[in-house]
Structure 1
């Protein structure tokens, strides 16, 4: 009888048996370990196949004007999406889905086929919750909804250039929406859910992380003044057949931008037919030669030098001045062959301003303009804002000195010009500009001596109120100060100026006795009644300044006396305030 092989080699049998026992023991231990000790391992792998995190949208912060009026709010919307891979096996459902969405069946089928290899495709975005629920209520196969937020702008085109807008993903793309993106944008949350292998929701488990909404932003804009500026600027463009325009109002004491209107404008709530030119915030982006509106700044440099006083005389006859091959001319006939400094401003004499500039030098005028912020960054951080150019020469020749003194050879923006006038109105103290509401008046820096600034305030009041002054800028019941300007438009792509193309300007502040607001009006290429700043822009200044001073409850400083009222009544004239 043959012996078994295991009996011949008992040690081999024991080794195999021991190995099998160890394997069974290891497997048993692993089972116990996974189910009792290290149970998170199996849970993690199970969750990876069924647990999903759905983002919880966070709405952007509210944007308001200085008084709490909403300028940008977030409203809930529904976005519909699908998985094209799932829909490829349900072609018979395509016509029903397209009909429910109001889409063309052929175009819908073509989109599905083009995205057949993808697992996600938007069907329709930005539906109202009611519209979205109407579609989702049909329980169409492969159609799912996402909760999102969309921006709505209550003031529409009135504040479009300031507030800006967001894109389809609710990210800031223009204006304040872009410059304050980090402040306004919220932080999305997460919701934990269970889904099957087809992506269908089985159970809403919990909120893993709450959404954090964006912060509220209070702008410096006063919506009442913004509406007023928008209306009068729009009317001015129609009346004068102008191409574009800007109007900016700044609080003299705080540096807050109270209104910033531009034309043409656009509706941020409906941008389907938006023209790129309408999107430009011209008050901050368009640069131009300011013309005679900088003569008060040049005059400030003369007074600051100590070489000139308001009563000093300058000969301006015969109204022209030859510098080599360059001729300086006065646009209008002056009231006499000799003018004092106030008379030079009233008559806007280029010849008189040039002679003063020759005496004090171009460097002195450059320094004063630079100190007042011309050609400098405003610090507002507005997207696309231009700095312009304030030239500085190693050697100031007469032609360069003269042209700078009466507003040519430099390029600035409307916001820079209004800041300069606000500084003059604030007794020479420059306060930083702000697009957000300021609760504490900033310190500011004294960039022009106080006595010089006060002298200029009186001189500019005469520019408006003198017999030959810019009477169209006058405001009943108030003393106001300002200066008109007319500048030729530089050619684009070639040297020189465009023929018959002008910018009409007016810059000023009021009330003169205690200035509160500064304003600049720029009208681009007026083509009907004329193009001089005193004719085109001054009336806009007068109307907006009158409305602004009343809306801000600023006490009138130019009411008629009892004797004047009695005389007006006797002559049959009503005392209009």
Structure 2
């Protein structure tokens, strides 16, 4: 066998044994097998999805379509005693733009845009800008940058737009086939009278959170419970026939206050004038019906606008009438003499020798006028506002008994009127030193709030019954009482004692020279007070003062009580008679005819003081 023939036979065997893929038929066969395998896998997966996992995938797809929108509860209203609105909630919305939806006419890249979509999208920004300018104000060009920034899909265009305004805008959008503007519910708290009773009412901030006053104190009741809406949605909004589950909001409760808005306004204007005239730091006025404890006015100054609290100083936003404590000065003598008379310790005509000064340990006490030893009736001690005479009489009572009377009038404890931040004041214990007892008798060495002191005096002049003060009268039209307040009336002194103290207050008014202590047609009882302010820095006196005057009328049957307190008037000789009495007078002169209080049938008569 030749070498050539052997080689040819080997090549022939190799050709017969070559790989199948080397031939066209083999390649086709392998390709068909591969296609069959892939098809089988796809069919199996499809069968799994459709037959076995279909419900799970459907649920997942449905969840992706679900949208949830919070439905804020409408906050309750605050109204005055006559139903005039002091605070309410306006239904407003934030206008939201989706530039991506605007640029694609809602397709968002999920569907191909038709020629019509492209035509609408090309002109949509300008048309939407024109609509925004029409309904929200401003210039269309200013809105365009926010409408054409396709990098974002959520842009706040405007805040606190009336819901009705947005509805009108949206109606016109739909008519033009425009998309891309939606709303977010954002209710706005409104205070139609601005600064009126702002320190009492408080405010709600832009985030919808109560931040002071009754708004904060009643937050849980005013706010209500938010609802929600869960619906099927798409980039174009709600799917008309999709699922929609609605949980309605539970709106907040509305409250009626005891405040008289008209008289409140007059009092605030009078305070503003007093601050301007005297350069005083602040002032507060309480007007009360002493027969019931209803607060008709709780005025503060300086004040602020509840609609725009950010423009005010923090110091002007609290309620001094219930938060600020001070020494009441000689107004305290009303309570001291009520205790002296009711306990039988002294009578109005009891005579007492009043020294020219009293020295107690390191303290030396004088009267506001210089005198040697003089004799005054108890009536004269009160009418002349003698600190030394008051001390001399108060020393006749045991400390425990005297303190018990003060406590029964409400000193040293919160009134629980329902206003946040209320102070309790300070009433020393019965184990107090003698000099503390002496100071308390004429209005130092203790502290009170304006509301607390007004309520205490009301309990003395109204026939002797303590009525807890009230500023909230109703909730949703039904009687309301703060949960922490005991409103059961309690007798604190006898009717005879009440009449005796009222007589002393009338004598104080009759023996004043100023017209601030006279109101035509009415017999009036008053008491002034002047005390030094304790500095918060050193807990000591630094020359600043607080002056006050309380008045009740008609003295025969008091129906109106006015208490004015002024902090730190800036001029020499500032006193309760000079600064606070004119405020009391002007408000009382307005209140008596406003409430149709009958004039007195007789004139007051001066009684012996010495």
Q: Distance in 1 between matches of 2:49 and 2:480?
A: 69
Shift of residue 471 of structure 1? Answer: 5.0
In the alignment, what sits opposite 1:9? none
Aligned to 1:259, which of 297, 300, 310? 297
Aligned to 1:538, which of 577, 581, 593? 581
Indicate if the aligned counterparts of 1:74 and 1:149 stay in contact, CA closer than 8 A: yes
Q: For structure 2, which runs of at least 5 residues remain unmatched after alignment? A: 1-42, 109-121, 482-486, 605-610
Aligned to 1:451, which of 496, 501, 508? 496
> Are 2:246 and 1:245 aligned?
no
> Are 2:441 and 1:405 aligned?
yes
Shift of residue 77 of structure 1? Answer: 1.3
Indicate if the aligned counterparts of 2:526 and 2:550 stay in contact, CA closer than 8 A: yes
In the alignment, what sits opposite 1:60? 75
Q: Distance in 2 between matches of 1:133 and 1:193?
A: 20
Q: How does 1:213-232 map to 2 (within 5 A)?
A: 213-232=251-270
Q: Secondary structure at the match of 1:60?
A: coil
Shift of residue 405 of structure 1? Answer: 0.7
Shift of residue 200 of structure 1? Answer: 4.2
Change in 2 beyond 3 A, CA 1:133/1:537: same
Aligned to 1:511, which of 540, 546, 554? 554
Q: Distance in 1 between matches of 2:232 and 2:557?
A: 68
Q: Distance in 2 between matches of 1:433 and 1:204?
A: 57
String of CA shifts for 1:121-154, please: whole Å, max 9, x gaps: 7554223347656887779976531133211111
Q: Distance in 2 between matches of 1:412 and 1:357?
A: 20
In the alignment, what sits opposite 1:376? 413
Q: Secondary structure at the match of 1:125?
A: strand
Q: Distance in 2 between matches of 1:178 and 1:121?
A: 31
Change in 2 beyond 3 A, CA 1:558/1:245: farther
Change in 2 beyond 3 A, CA 1:384/1:293: same
Indicate if the aligned counterparts of 1:250 and 1:519 stay in contact, CA closer than 8 A: yes
Aligned to 2:94, which of 63, 79, 93? 79
Q: Distance in 2 between matches of 1:43 and 1:514?
A: 79
Q: Distance in 1 between matches of 2:553 and 2:396?
A: 31
In the alignment, what sits opposite 2:204? 166
> Are 2:377 and 1:340 aligned?
yes
Indicate if the aligned counterparts of 1:503 and 1:522 stay in contact, CA closer than 8 A: yes
Change in 2 beyond 3 A, CA 1:325/1:135: same
> Are 2:600 and 1:557 aligned?
yes
Shift of residue 486 of structure 1? Answer: 0.4
RMSD: 3.8
Indicate if the aligned counterparts of 2:411 and 2:448 stay in contact, CA closer than 8 A: yes
Indicate if the aligned counterparts of 1:334 and 1:347 stay in contact, CA closer than 8 A: no
TM-score normalised to the size of structure 2? 0.76
Bigger Cα displacement from structure 2, 293-302 vs 79-88: 79-88
Q: Distance in 2 between matches of 1:389 and 1:98?
A: 63
In the alignment, what sits opposite 1:5? none
Q: Distance in 2 between matches of 1:85 and 1:297?
A: 74
In the alignment, what sits opposite 1:427? 463
Q: Distance in 2 between matches of 1:204 and 1:140?
A: 21
Q: Distance in 2 between matches of 1:244 and 1:497?
A: 18
Aligned residue pairs total 526
Aligned to 1:292, which of 312, 330, 336? 330
Q: Distance in 2 between matches of 1:435 and 1:403?
A: 32
